[in-house]
Structure 1
Amino acid sequence: MSLRFVPAATAAATAALGWAAARRLRTTGAGRALERTNHRGEAVTLLEGPVLALAQLAGTAVAPLPGRARAGAALATGVAAVLGAVDDVHGSADARGLKGHLGSLLRGRPTTGGLKVVGIGLGGLLGAALVDGPSRPGREVGVADRLVAGALVAGSANLVNLLDLRPGRALKAVLVLGHLVGGTGVPGARPGGPLAATGAGAAAVLLLPDLREEAMLGDSGANAAGALLGAALLTRTQDRRARAAVLAVLLGLTAASEVVSFSRVVEATPGLRALDRLGRRAPAPAGPAAG
C-alpha cells in the first residue's frame, strides 16, 4: 500500500472500530446522556463527533508529513473537538451564531460557544504555527502570515459547523472540500493530500449512520473536521495570495450566515439540493392539520 493511502485507511479503520464501540456505549448511562431528540422525535447520539475526531487524530499520526506538521494538525483538531464537545454537552440556546456568542462574551456573560470560538482561534494559531514552521532564509513568516494561517484553521472549523444542519451535509462537504484541498488526482498525491485524505477516510465511514439519522456530528465532530481541513490547506500552499483569498471566502460565508439561511440557499439551488438530499431518509410526514 502506498504511503499516501495510509492516513485515509487508518482513519477509516479507526472510525469503523470507534462507531462499533459507540453503538455499544449508547446503551450505558454515559451513552444515554449523549443522546438528543431529532426532528422526527427519534434519539440520535452525539458520539459520532468524538469518534470522527479520534479517527482523524489516528490518521494524522501516520501521515507522511514532517513531525511538526502532524503535531500542529493534531493540536488544532484536538482543541476543536474538545471545546466542541463541551459546547455540545453544556451549551445553551441563549446565544446563537458568532455574533451572539462574542456579544455575550463582551458583555461579561461568557457562553460555552463564546469560549469555544476563542479557544479554537488560539488552537488554530498554535497549530498553524507548527504546521508552517519557523522562518528561514528565503521564506520569512511574519505576524500577518501567522494570523492569516491561524484564521484559516479556525474559519474552516467554523464553516463545517455552520453546514451541520441536516443529516450528512457536513460530511459531504468534508468529502468534497477534502478532494479540492488534496488535489484533483488520487487523494494524497499532492502536499495537502495526506491530511485531506485523513478527513475523507473518517467522513466516508461515518456518512452512513449520519444519513440514517442514527448519529450526529455535533460541534465536536464538525469543528474537528473543519480544523483538519484548514491544516491540510496550509500544508498544500504557502502562497500568501492564495491563503488570503481562501480566508476572504471563509469570512464572507461566516458573515453571510448571520443574515442568510444556508439551508434556504441549498434548497433554492437545484444542484446543491440534489447533493444535499442524496442518501437521506424521506422527510418526516406532516402531522394532521389543526382544526
Structure 2
Amino acid sequence: MDGRGTAGRTGAARGILRTAAGAALGAVAARAAYTALTRRPPGLNGAPGAEVWGRTNHRGEPVTLLEGPAFVAAAVVGGLLAPGLGSGPGGRTPAAALLSADGSAVLGGYDDLTGSGTSRGFKGHLGALARGEVTSGAVKILGIGATGLAAAATAGSPAPTRTGRAFDTLVNGALVAGSANLMNLFDLRPGRAVKVGLITGAPLALTSAGSAVVAAPLGAAAALLPEDLAERAMLGDTGANALGALLGLAAARLGRGPRLAVLAAVVGLNAASEKISFTKVIRDTPVLHRIDMLGRRPVPEAAGAAANAAVPPQAGSVEDGAPAADAV
C-alpha cells in the first residue's frame, strides 16, 4: 500500500513538473515570437507588414493581430519540445496537435486578412453559400470542420472495435472544430479569449491525458495576456481558433463520458451564440463581469455603449467596437 502510494505521489509530481516545463517553454517561445514578429511584421502581396496586421481600436490607437501568429508559433514549438506529448495512442498526438493548431490558424488567418464582414454567424455564412456566394467565413467553417476530423483521425482512438474508433473520431473531430469556433466567439474584448482559455484549460492541464497538449499553449497565452489587456495586440481568428482547437484536442483525450459532456457544452454554446450575446451575459453577471474587466483599461462610456448595442450579438471580433474579423 505504501509503495503504491509513494509511486502515485512520484508520478503526480513528475506530471506537475512536465506541465510546468511545457508552460515555461510556451511562455518563453511566445515572448520571443511576438518580439520578432512585431519588430519586423511580415508583409503580404507587396503591402507592408504594419499595414497588413495593423488595426485601429475604439480609442483610435493602433493594435496588431500578430499576437495570433506569435501564439501559434509558440504553442507548436513549445508543444513539440515539451515532455510527454507523444504519449497518446500510437504516439501520434504531436502530429494531431500540429495539424489542429496550424490548420485552424491558417484558416483563421485567411479570415483575418480577407474577411469582409458582410455575412456573419453560421446562418449568415452558410446562407450565403447556399446562394452561391463563397465567403471567407464559409471557407473557415468547412475547413476547420475538415481539420478537426483530420486531427482526430491522426490522434487515433484506443477503442477496440472499428465502430468505436469511428465514433471516437467523429466526437473528437467535432470537439476540435467546435472548440476552435467557440474560442473565437470570446475574442470580442481585450484579454477575454485568453482568460477563457486559461480558465477552461487549467482543469485539462491537471489531467495526465490533456496536460501535454495544453501546457505550452496555456503558457504562451499567459505570456501574451499583458499585450492583449493593454490593447496593444489581439489574438484575432488566427490565435483564437488555434487556442480553441488545442483545448478541444486535449479534451478529446478524456474518457468517453467526459468527452460527450464537453461536446454537448461546446455545441450548445455555439448554437446559443446565434441568438444570445455572450458580451451581454458577461456584462450582466457580476462575477463574470469582474473577471472580464480584470486587468483591462477603463472603457470610454460612449464606445462601450456603442459596442454593447451591436446586433447581431456575436457578429464579429471586436474589441470594444473595433472590428477585426468575422467571429465565424
Asked if the contact 1:73–1:128 (Cα under 8 Å) also holds between the matched residues in 2, the reply is: no
What is the match of residue 253 of structure 1? 269
Equivalent position of 1:109 in the other structure: 133
Choose which of 12, 20, 24 in structure 1 pairs with 2:39: 24
Deviations 1:41-80 (A, max 9, x none): 1111111101101111112212413241111011011000
State the alpha-carbon separation in 2 of the partners of residues 27 and 112 from structure 1.
21
Matched, 1:6 2:29: no
**1:280 and 1:4 mapped to 2: Cα distance?**
28
Give distance in 2, aligned partners of 1:55 and 1:202.
Answer: 6
1:34 CA drift (Å): 1.0
AA at the equivalent of 2:111: D
Residue matched to 1:186: none
Q: Deviation per CA, 1:201-248: give whole Å up to 9, x if none.
A: 01111000000000111100000000000111122x132x32222111
* 2:68 aligned residue: 49
Corresponding pairs, count? 279
User: Is 1:89 the equivalent of 2:150?
Assistant: no
Equivalents in 2 of 1:27, 1:190: separation in Å?
38
Superposition map of 1:103-252 within 5 A:
103-133=127-157, 135-136=159-160, 141-183=164-206, 190-235=208-253, 237-239=254-256, 241-252=257-268
Q: The residue matched to 1:44 in structure 2 has which SS?
A: strand
Query: Is the 8 Å Cα contact of residues 49 and 217 (structure 1) preserved in structure 2?
Result: yes
Q: Which amino acid aligns with 2:149?
A: L
SS in 2 for 1:195: helix
CA separation in 1, counterparts of 2:34 and 2:85? 27
CA distance in structure 1 between the aligned counterparts of 2:200 and 2:279, rounded to whole angstroms: 18
CA contact (8 A) 1:163 1:170 kept: yes
Does the 8 Å contact 1:6/1:62 carry over to 2?
A: no
Preserved CA contact (<8 Å) 2:156 2:165 = no
Instruction: Give the letter for the 1:92 counterpart.
Output: S
Q: Does 1:276 align with 2:265?
A: no
1:122 aligns to what SS in structure 2? helix
TM-score, normalized by length of structure 1? Answer: 0.90
Give deviations 1:121-150, integer Å, cap 9, x for gaps: 11111111222347547x963433211110
**Aligned to 1:280, what secondary structure does the other structure show?**
coil
What secondary structure is seen at the aligned counterpart in 2 of 1:141? helix
In the alignment, what sits opposite 1:72? 96
Q: Name whichever of 102-111 and 12-21 sits farther off.
A: 102-111
Deviation at 1:285, TM superposition (A): 5.2
Aligned partners of 1:68 and 1:133 also within 8 Å? no
Give, as a single letter, the amino acid of the residue that structure 1 aligns with 2:178.
Answer: G
Q: Is the 8 A contact 2:29 2:74 kept in 1?
A: yes
Instruction: Give the alignment partner of residue 266 of structure 1, picking from 265, 279, 282.
Output: 282
**Deviation of residue 4 (structure 1)?**
3.2
| Aligned partners of 1:26 and 1:45 also within 8 Å | no
Letter of the structure 2 residue corresponding to residue 65 of structure 1: L
Gaps of 5+ in 1: 184-188
**What is the CA RMSD across the aligned residues, in angstroms?**
2.0
Instruction: Give the TM-score normalised by structure 2.
Output: 0.80
Give how far 1:182 is off: 2.0
CA contact (8 A) 1:35 1:43 kept: yes
Query: What is the letter of the counterpart of residue 121 of structure 1?
Result: G
Deviation at 1:12, TM superposition (A): 0.8
Q: Hey, what's the Cα distance between the residues in 2 that align with 1:106 and 1:69?
A: 36
Cα offset, 1:152, TM superposition: 0.3
Partner amino acid for 1:53? V
How much has 1:200 moved relative to structure 2? 1.0
Identity of aligned residues (%): 48
